Amino acid sequence: MLNKADIVEAARSAGIGASDGLPAEIKLESKADIVIANGCELEPLVFSSRHVLLHNAAEIINGLELAMQATQAARGIVAYVKRIPEIDAAVQAAACGHAGIEIFHAPPFYPIEDDFTIACAATGRVVPNSATLAAIGVCVLDVETLYNLSRAAGGNPANERTVSITGEVAQPAVLRLPLGTTVGEAIERCGGAKNDDFRVLLGGPISGRIADDLSQPISRCTAAIVVLPANHVQIQRRMRPLSVMLLHARTACTACEECTRYCTRYLSGQDIEPHQIMRVISYSLDSLNKSITSAVNCHECGVCDIVCRMGLSPRVICREIKAHLRAMGWSTPASDIDGQLRTGFMKNRVPLEELAERLGVQKYVQAIDPQQILNAGVAPLRTVDGVMIHPLQTGEEAPAQERRKEE
């Protein structure tokens, strides 16, 4: 049986990160009484966690037990939204007979995948203002990290990433790609882009950032690649210069407070009110008042952007403020007062069926059968022209890369 030091070392030498970019060994070195395997995933066009849950449930349970051992946690919780019966059956079967492991069917709202939100929903514990999950004795690791931890314990490096590739591609798919595969190669693996003038989001249509170029490699943080027309609202929105965003914030914000009513971290008890940030930003970034510094509590989930009827982006403003505060060496002291959930934690949520429509991606969502994309297993890798790729599933069309070679 591996001890704490062995597990932490296995994670370190395998190079396991977490999808939030924080090396897993840092979380494993801490002490917790509950570890949550986070398999919640409700952002449209993202399927990676569900794919790992469906195909690698046994490894996830093994990784969860290793994480519980490392953190000395007595409880392990596998959290996911019960939408695909096969996933539920796979997890139930894998968890059966494992002492201390529970299954939590998470409420179906975006972003239940947010660490603070799932920790609160699954355990009832609320993180104090500006504190971390360690303050409530909870460690949250995403299911891909736990899958990698299980493999690392067997001496395998964490050199792949499960990636959903969707949007304007010929064959949307979930692939397990070697880290370092370029964005362009990943898109080619799905038959190429269907639109000549396209841009790529690394991440889903809410959380994603525009890829610099197609030669950019995927990393362990790349859960999704979404190809969209260059004139798509989600691309145009992200291409606005900051100066224009600030000007819009000054002139168009109606102080309606919707962004605060729906703010994920506000509802989770953190001290952040995006509508106040938008008001104060009109004056100066340099005035370090409480509203400005509260932006450190923003998790960049993007809900405020979705609900703002004026098309403003409190999320981007918060991101810029955080960068500004980091550059100034600012840090916010964590509160030692117990966190309190805000009224509306369960209620103030954008209905799932409206999410895709508000994001302008409903046609891509409708084009995908979740059962089909999830049930396609991940085939072993092989090499074509020095590039590691997955063999085709039966009946699939050859990817453009191979078609060109044959021609």
Which residues of the shown chain bind ligand SF4 in the complex (CB under 6 A)?
253-259, 263-265, 272, 274-275, 278, 298-304, 308, 310, 312, 314-315, 318
**Between 194 and 250, CB nearer to ligand SF4:** 250
Please report the sign of the dihedral spanned by the C-alpha atoms of residue 175, residue 233, residue 221, residue 142.
Answer: negative
Nearer to ligand SF4 (CB atom), residue 255 or residue 398: 255
Residues 6 or more apart in contact with residue 257 via CB below 8 angstroms: 273, 275
Phi, psi for 162 (deg, rounded to 5): -80, 120
Nearer Cβ to ligand SF4 (199/299): 299
d(CA 166, CA 205): 10
Which two three-digit tokens encode residue 145? 């990290």
Quick one: how far is CA 171 from the chain centroid? Answer: 22
Give least dist CB 385 to ligand SF4, A: 41
Residue 43 CB, nearest approach to ligand SF4 (Å): 13
Least distance CB 258 / ligand SF4 (angstroms): 4
How many residues are listed for the chain in this entry?
407
> Are 179 and 219 within 8 A, CB to CB?
yes
234/219 Cα distance (integer angstroms): 22
174: amino acid identity, one letter: V
Q: Which is nearer to ligand SF4, 269 or 399 (CB)?
A: 269
- Residue identified by tokens 């249509």 is 205
The helix, strand and coil proportions of the chain, stated in percent and rounded to the nearest 5, come to 40, 15, 45
Cis peptide bond upstream of 205, omega within 30:
no
The nearest distance, CB 308 to ligand SF4, in angstroms, is 3
CA angle 164–169–172, rounded 5-degree value:
40
Which lies closer to ligand SF4 via its Cβ, residue 191 or residue 339?
339
CB 239 → ligand SF4: shortest distance, Å? 18
Least distance from C-beta 372 to ligand SF4, angstroms? 31
Assign 200 to helix, strand or coil.
Answer: strand
CB of 303 or CB of 361, closer to ligand SF4 = 303
Q: Whose Cβ is closer to ligand SF4: residue 172's or residue 314's?
A: 314
Whole-number minimum distance, CB 305 to ligand SF4, in Å? Answer: 7
Determine phi and psi for 266, rounding to 5 degrees. Answer: -60, -45
Question: Closest distance between ligand SF4 and the C-beta of residue 345, in Å?
Answer: 13
Least Cβ distance, residue 18 to ligand SF4 (angstroms): 19
Which residue, 172 or 208, is less far from ligand SF4 as judged by CB? 208
89 vs 255 by CB, closer to ligand SF4: 255
**CB 270, CB 116: distance < 8 Å:** yes
Taking the C-alpha atoms of residue 145 and residue 53, their distance in angstroms, rounded to an integer, is 12
CA angle (216 as vertex; 209, 163 as ends), nearest 5 = 65
